[in-house]
Structure 1
Amino acid sequence: MADKLDYLGELDPDDPKQASQQIANKIRAAILTRRLAPGDKLPSQPEMAARYGVARETVKRALESLRAERLIITRQGSGAFVRAQTQRPVELRPHIEAAFERPHVTIDFAGFSGETLRDALAEVLDKVRAGRLAPESIAIRVLVSDTAAPMALPARAETQADDPAVRDRADRITRRAVEGIIDQVTELADLGLVPAASVEVRMHRTSPQFKLYLLNREEVFFGFYPAVERTVTIKGEPTAIYDLMGKDVPLFHYAVTDDDASHGNQFIEASRQWFDSIWTTIAYRYDR
């Protein structure tokens, strides 16, 4: 157990974050980097309280936040354990924040519009602006559909056919999300807060059926887009469309392990190869 405590590091007295947040961040980082593996038992609350010189209630708050993120589970009378993440839905933002604790951050995204990525980045980049996270470089690649081209989804529900007005609506949504990502990240470089920061966007002419995030090329988050019928406003009129719904889609998490033959390692490698193959073949530059 002493080794586990050593992995969790020390609290930073100059960090403006509360002690419970610092503890949660350290445990989260240990889990995401597999220093704590699925099924591992965490040190007890009294052990961590003694290690960090805090009240047991502070440790309890840290563990509660990790449990809410589905990173750990608690068993009455047995303690807290790292949850098996291989095929369970997870929240993206805490993992992006953990990725930004590395000196060099890379994020590859493939999907419909990038709205979820933009929103997940917003709070994390605020912490970079405040000096609470300080990566040396950020490189983001975004791969999205070009709705200027006819595609199966989104489509008008009545005819189940491609409709330029429906695609124009999707194009506005995509451009808002993409421009938001570009502006947020490049601002950090313009302000001198990050030595190097870049966003590259490419487009392709297919309807995405899933969203894919690669964080530091060591973690993958994958989720399917369900096709749903819903009514939206187009040119001032309520219009029924078949749409790709990405909000609140469950994301499944895979992380690199020491076992090269593991399912997670194989999925991550396949995801890297798929992304790079589309990026370097049928994808083309996004024009602002």
Structure 2
Amino acid sequence: MELELDPDDPRPPYQQVAAALRAAILGRKFQPGERLPSQNELAGMFGVARMTVQQALRIVRDEGLTVSRQGSGIFVRERAARPAGLRPHIERIFEAESVTIDFVGYTSETLAGLLTEPLDKIRSGRLTPREIRIRILLPDMTRPIALPVAVSGDETASAQARERMAGIGARHLATIHDSVEELQDLGLVHSAIVESRVHGSAPLFKAYILSGTDVFFGFYPVREHEVRIGDDRLATYDSLGRDSELFHYTDDGDPESPGSQFVAQAQLWFDSIWDTIATKANP
């Protein structure tokens, strides 16, 4: 299979690799359920560093096109025959003068990945929004909540699992804060604001509200999942965002349509949590 980069493409190599993999998956060069070549093999095929391949694989994973199986490799998802749909909408809203994103979910890992390309385009002058505002609602892992929880039911172990997830969430949250707010510091946008708050509910679903007109919503399935805590392995019940199917709702201008009503209610729900029980998070 021929996979090569275009020397005239101005995008960073990892974005070109991600685009090539995306096209290969959606074009059925890699079939649903098929194992992708290893990272070293892909690096050789594209003539790039392994780290570049890792960044590209993270993008197609965040798009829902692939799934990792521990000890086996990375596979094309069975439902990847159709586009995931979220990434093009994220990039499209950055073409407007004013960009708003409200996100609620488990961690902001996927959101951080989705923002990479539009932020790079702003830095290179290919996108020129005037203002950006992102609000992020995450579960408060400093107090007992239903998930993640140790399968054994031991609260000490459950607290360790929550602490682990808190660390993961904090890293991605800091990345979003730094990369977005940097745009204002560089004078590339007039205003760039990222706000993050936490709440006491378990992470059972995620939603992206894009500029008040589109909502992508999906439930988190709960699975038994083994994680590493120090030198030990801990069996937990946890929400797995990579296995969630996103449903798209759009405001079509008809206030009576199901899509418009869902967008309105999603925004109302988000604002109500944000303005009442949510408290400031520390990125």
User: TM exceeds 0.5?
Assistant: yes
Shift of 1:89: 7.9
2:143 to 127, 132, 149: 149
State yes or no: 1:140 paired with 2:117.
Answer: no
Shift of 1:238: 1.3
Task: Give the corresponding residue for 2:101.
Answer: 107
Larger radius of gyration: 1
1:171 to 156, 160, 166: 166
Q: Say which SS state the counterpart of residue 187 (structure 2) adopts.
A: coil
1:1-288 alignment, distance < 5 Å: 90-159=84-153, 163-288=158-283
Task: For 1:113, give the aligned amino acid.
Answer: T
Cα distance in 1 for partners of 2:253, 2:205 equals 27
Partners of 1:147 and 1:167 within 8 A in 2 = yes
Shift of 1:91: 2.9
Cα distance in 2 for partners of 1:180, 1:247 equals 20
Partners of 1:89 and 1:253 within 8 A in 2 = no
Q: What do residues 257-276 of structure 1 show as CA deviations (whole Å, max 9, x unaligned)?
A: 12210000000010011000
Moved over 6 A (4+): none
Q: Scaled by the length of structure 1, what TM-score is found?
A: 0.68
Shift of 1:249: 2.1
Q: What do residues 238-286 of structure 1 show as CA deviations (whole Å, max 9, x unaligned)?
A: 1111111012522111111122100000000100110000000000111
Partners of 1:225 and 1:244 within 8 A in 2 = yes
Cα distance in 1 for partners of 2:272, 2:203 equals 15
Deviates more, 1:242-251 or 1:113-122: 242-251
Cα distance in 1 for partners of 2:136, 2:83 equals 22
Number of aligned positions between the proteins: 205
Percent identical: 48
Cα distance in 2 for partners of 1:233, 1:277 equals 36
Task: Give the corresponding residue for 2:77.
Answer: none
Deviates more, 1:145-154 or 1:246-255: 246-255
Q: Say which SS state the counterpart of residue 262 (structure 2) adopts.
A: helix
Q: Say which SS state the counterpart of residue 129 (structure 2) adopts.
A: coil
Cα distance in 2 for partners of 1:248, 1:96 equals 20
Cα distance, 1:127–1:89 mapped onto 2, change above 3 Å = closer
Cα distance in 2 for partners of 1:243, 1:129 equals 37
Task: For 1:111, give the aligned amino acid.
Answer: G
Shift of 1:205: 1.1
Cα distance in 2 for partners of 1:275, 1:244 equals 20
Task: For 1:198, give the aligned amino acid.
Answer: I
Task: For 2:254, give the aligned amino acid.
Answer: D
Q: What do residues 124-159 of structure 1 show as CA deviations (whole Å, max 9, x unaligned)?
A: 111111111110000000011110010110011122
Task: For 2:93, give the aligned amino acid.
Answer: A
Shift of 1:231: 1.1
User: RMSD in angstroms over aligned alpha carbons?
Assistant: 2.0
Cα distance in 2 for partners of 1:185, 1:219 equals 21
Cα distance in 2 for partners of 1:236, 1:120 equals 32
